[in-house]
Amino acid sequence: MSHLDDKVILITGGTGSFGQQFTDTTLKDHNPHAVRIFSRDELKQHEMAQRLRHDSRVRFFIGDVRDKERLYRAMKGVHIVVHAAALKQVPAAEYNPLEAVKTNIMGGANVIDAAIDNGVEKVIFLSTDKAVRPVNLYGATKLVAEKLCVQANAYAGGQKTRFSCVRYGNVVGSRGSVIPLFLEGRRNGVIRITDERMSRFWITLEQGVRFVVDCIARMAGGEIFVPKIPSMRLVDTARTLAPNARWEIIGMRPGEKVHEELITADETPRVKEFATGYIIEPQHSFWDPMRNGDATPVPSDFEYRSDTNTAWMSPAELKACIADSGGHLDDVSVLTGDGDAEP
């Protein structure tokens, strides 16, 4: 029996690309009692409802994570919450900082309160590599959200609710990411590159969803889970997607890093490795290491950076990832969706 079978699952930001993929995977591979989609966009909810109209297990709640009262209502009877709602566009967060704080930080706090008070069993927050030593506001808000999530296990007191995070890199083809931009450059013959040294972690939407599903089964509360994913240099991405385009080097934008990190040296003493990823253990007494008994400590000099990664994505693998995401190299529009905005 699957760990999602007969469960009531709520997904915040459920009409985003992750939420829709998570819903499809859960309905196909498991047998939940219900999947509740919680989001602000009535049009996306209508379109998703039309696509899934033959599946009576799906429910739709219009709401915003900023609205605690609405969250309380939506979480009645829920067993598992996947918190995917966020303002994710890096430039938009820089220009509208208080809006990002209200959604990404205060919204996360509302999810925590509503989950504890409704007796939810498990809550998993989605985070990002940009939360690691953040240089932009989006990353900073996600760092705070991670801290809130981990400490929520102590905040829950004697309640049964447990909280964990999943932290991963850029989603292939996500809205605002570099891949749709490079595909557009393939059409018009000009590629704009911020810095030729840059490297990035990449993960497909389906890989991200399946990793989250696995982590829901693994979590004891307080962990930050990090998947094993490949890196690729920005210039190699450009050569793969637009081999005949002319390059323009435009310089780094505000809030960008040359390389990304998923695990820092400061976190290494608390990191353990398992077959498909890493676990950053919390420092608090609520941790139960027996839940992840197959994980082993990493070497003392371990760091997980996009430039020193041991796994690198080949051009063929990148093209396959784009195809698996539902797109192909001559179609930009099908690659758009929610995800981290910074290339």
Determine the Cα–Cα distance for residues 143 and 108; give it in Å rounded to an integer.
11
The reported pLDDT for the residue numbered 198 is 94
6: left (phi over 0), alpha (psi -120 to 50) or beta: left
The reported pLDDT for the residue numbered 289 is 63
Residue showing tokens 């989006």: 138
The Cα-based distances of 248 to 36, 73, 126 in angstroms read 45, 51, 34
pTM reported for the whole predicted model: 0.92
Phi, psi of 166 (to 5 degrees): -120, 125
Domain boundaries, given as residue ranges, for the chain = 8-170+203-229+261-310
The Cα-based distances of 123 to 54, 141, 317 in angstroms read 28, 18, 32
Phi, psi of 90 (to 5 degrees): -60, -50
- 186-209 pLDDT, tens per residue? 888 998 888 999 999 999 999 999
Which one of 7, 122, 130, 257 is the catalytic residue? 130
The reported pLDDT for the residue numbered 333 is 40
Determine the Cα–Cα distance for residues 268 and 289; give it in Å rounded to an integer.
16
Q: Where are the beta strands (DSSP E) in the chain?
A: 8-12, 34-39, 58-62, 80-83, 122-128, 162-168, 170-171, 190-193, 199-203, 224-227, 231-233, 246-249, 261-263, 271-274, 277-280, 296-297, 304-305
Q: How far is CA 184 from the centre of its chain?
A: 25
The reported pLDDT for the residue numbered 236 is 94
Q: How far is CA 78 from the centre of its chain?
A: 21
The reported pLDDT for the residue numbered 290 is 65
The reported pLDDT for the residue numbered 31 is 96
SS3 category, 305: strand
Angle formed by the axes of helices 234-241 and 178-188, to 10°?
40
Closest Cα to residue 145, out of 166, 161, 160? 166
CATH 3.50.40.10 fits 8-170+203-229+261-310, yes or no: no
Determine the Cα–Cα distance for residues 253 and 260; give it in Å rounded to an integer.
15
pLDDT along the chain (343 residues), means of 10: 94 94 96 97 95 94 98 98 94 94 98 98 97 96 98 92 95 74 87 91 93 96 96 93 90 88 96 96 74 88 96 92 64 38 32
130 counts as catalytic: yes
Phi, psi of 108 (to 5 degrees): -65, -40
Determine the Cα–Cα distance for residues 78 and 97; give it in Å rounded to an integer.
32
